[in-house]
Every structure is written in C-alpha cells, then in structure tokens.
Amino acid sequence: MFKKIVLENGMRVLLVPDKHTKAVTVLVLVGTGSKYETKEISGISHFLEHMFFKGTTKRPTKIDISEPFDRVGGVYNAFTGEDYTGYWAKVEKSHFELAIDIISDMYLNSKLEQEELERERGVIMEEINMYYDNPMSYVQHLWTELLYGDQPAGWDIAGTKETVAGINHDMMMEYMKRQYVASNTIVCLAGNFEEEDALEKVNRYFKDVRKTKPRKKDPVVEEQTEPALNLHYRKTDQTHLCLGFRAYNLNDPRKYAAELLSTALGGMMSSRMFLKIREDMGLAYYIRTGLNADPETGYIVTSAGLDNKRIDKAIEMIIHEYKNIAENGISEDELQKAKDNITGKMTLSFEASDAQASFYGMQELLEDKTESPEEFFREIKKVTPKQVQEVAQDLFKPEKMNLSILGPYEDKERFAKLLKI
C-alpha cells in the first residue's frame, strides 16, 4: 500500500508504510539531471549533488552532515541520472526525524562555498578519470554517445573535464534555484513510520521549498536508418562491447514484453547469451543483456567482455541469438522462467525500505502512472510468447542496430560488415 499527497506548495509526497521492518528510508527526488543541461554547464547536476554533502548553514562542515548518520549506523548517499537527482538516507526507525532533518537541510540550505567547490572539482575530475580508465564502464558511455550523439542524452552525466573546470558558484546557484523547486520535487518515505507523524514532519521540514517553475528539458532527437558503429581504439587484453537496438520508452505498454525478452536473452546465468557465448563457446567472462527505458527513449543491449582473438565470432553469435528469438520465438517454459526471475528478484528487493522508496518514487517522477508491485506482476504475468516474439521482430532490425567497441582495433569496416540480421 502507498499513498500520494500533494502539498499546498505543489511538492508531492509518497508514503509507503511497512510495519514488518525496523528501518525507514527518506528519499528526495528532483526532476532534473544531465538532460536538463546545456553544453556550457554539462555535468552541473552531478557536481551539485556532490556539493550538497559539503555543508549547510545549520551544519557548516561535511562532518556535520556525515557524523550524525555514522553515529546511528545510517546508510546515506545520492545519485544523478539523465532525468533525475536523488538524495536518501536509511536509518533505524527511531532515527526517522534525524534523517528527514538532515536530508531536507541539504536540499534547502547547502552553502556551496567556493573553497569546497574548488576542492570537489578535483574529486570529480578524478571520477571522470576513473570511468575513462575502466573499459567496462567507458564502453557504456560510447554506447549512449553512439545512440544520441551531441545532445544532452548523449553526453556523460559527469560532464567533461573542460565543462567541469568552467562551472562556477554563480552557475551552480542559478541552476539550483531554477530546478530545485516544489513542483519538481518528490519526497518518498518508506518503512516503519506513523503516517500522520511523517506527513507533519515533511510539511515542517520542507515548508520553505521554492515555488517557481523549473526549466524543461529539450526533446531527444533520434535519427537512424542503418546499423551504426562506434569504435574506440585502446590497447587492451579484452574487448568490451555493447551490441543492441533502440527500443521503447517507459510509457509504451510493450515494455513488459521487452523486459521479459531481455531477461530471457541475457538477464540470468541460464539465459541464452550467457549459456551460448560464455558457457558453450568460452568467448566471454561477463555477458549480460538489459533493457533501459526513460520517458522518451529506450534500448535493449548486450554488454560483454570478450576474447580479442575471437571478437568477430562473438559478434556473429550475439547477433545470431537476437535473430533466433525473433524468428523462432520463445517457449512457454522459458518465458515462465523469465517471469519468475523478474518477480522473484523484485520481491526480494522489496524486503528493503530503500528499494520500496525508489520503486514508487522513480515511477512518480518519470512515468505517467504509479503502479504497485502487484500491478506490475500482473502485467508481467499476462505477457504471451507471441507478444515477446512480436517485440523481438519489431526491435531486432538493421536500422535499429548499434555497436560500440572498445579494444585494440582501428578498422571500422571489419566490424561494420558484421552488422546484419
């Protein structure tokens, strides 16, 4: 059970009570991320997320924020995506007010001091270096860059070293005041709390949220008529790739069949990609297929770390598995396994209050509706083998195919000629 309340200032509150846990999670989601940025301030959403942990007017230093959580064994963090930024804390239920006090204080009263900004700029530069130096991570950036190009959806969430170097205090304050407003904010509480008391605390701690209208993001432009390839040369002992297709957005009813399709292909250790590419042929250490969907776009992609000497064979076999399921479909038994896998994993995750907060909060922020886990399970249960095959046939077409490769190669034509289905 969950309850949605819209406060007088326009801020949305989601209450997800659960008396079977001793924990409570406070999650604040803001409808802004890298898609809401311009080229000049690319990375500012992520930069601001870092700065919220550096001190407020009430808690002037970073230890004033971290130590109270540490003293009670709380778990706390933040995250930034293309369409959202989130701040959360999970504590034992008796410390609920501590969590909402600190998270609201960070949201409303962060100082964004110049000295801390300069120090954190260096930290973010090293974060960018870390992801660049990790081929498994960087190939994911090559993938989104290939799909969306030079527009916010194709930029790195952290920005570039050049844009991060140019972001200053005034830019950050302006962005925060414009985007961190009541109508663009959701407070989601999940766990063991009393509803009346929780709602009173939200009203009290978030009463000063700004009420102006936030800037909307520019629409994502997708233009593709033939297979596309992004090849990045790096001398590595293992080739990393992302091979997949443009798919559906969050509001497309076919997303349930697409989720089951991706799970059957590469979402389990007994899935098709894992068994064929890793277990039978020994071509990869890691291989997985996943579905990604946001309010405007989506994709299904297989990511893998592969033997350099047999990369061509691996690409052919991954494409073969896509083609096979589109042509021959999926059995009732295999589909049921995928359904049970998804529902089982989600059920286990909901043992944690932070997972419940994220499930409801992200739906409210990104989708046209908010469904319960039971409603989601019912939609999954209704999917038929025919619907999964129809989705596969719709998605797995040459004009929707994309391949990003990071490895010791410079000949694009070598891989371009493999992209056929």
367 within 8 A of 293, measured Cβ to Cβ: no
Closest CA to 402 of 226, 150, 227: 227
> For residue 288, what are the contacts with CB-CB under 8 A and spacing of at least 6?
266, 267, 273, 274, 302, 303, 304
What is the C-alpha to C-alpha distance for residues 167 and 163, in angstroms, rounded to an integer? 6
The DSSP line for 98-147 is HHHHHHHHHHHHB---HHHHHHHHHHHHHHHHHHHH-HHHHHHHHHHHHH
User: How far is C-alpha 236 from the chain's CA centre?
Assistant: 27
Catalytic residue among 8, 37, 49, 259: 49
User: How far is C-alpha 170 from the chain's CA centre?
Assistant: 28
96 within 8 A of 24, measured Cβ to Cβ: yes
| Chain position carrying tokens 């700029």 | 121
Task: For residue 31, give both structure tokens.
Answer: 């409808």
Q: Starting at the edge strand that comes first in sequence, how are the strands of the sheet with 401-407 ordered? A: 228-233, 401-407, 238-246, 298-307, 284-293
299 within 8 A of 147, measured Cβ to Cβ: yes
Q: Is 49 an active-site residue?
A: yes
What is the C-alpha to C-alpha distance for residues 279 and 284, in angstroms, rounded to an integer? 9
190 within 8 A of 356, measured Cβ to Cβ: yes
Kindly give the interhelix angle for 44-51 and 114-133, rounded to the nearest 10 degrees: 120
User: How far is C-alpha 292 from the chain's CA centre?
Assistant: 8
- Write out the catalytic residue numbers: 49
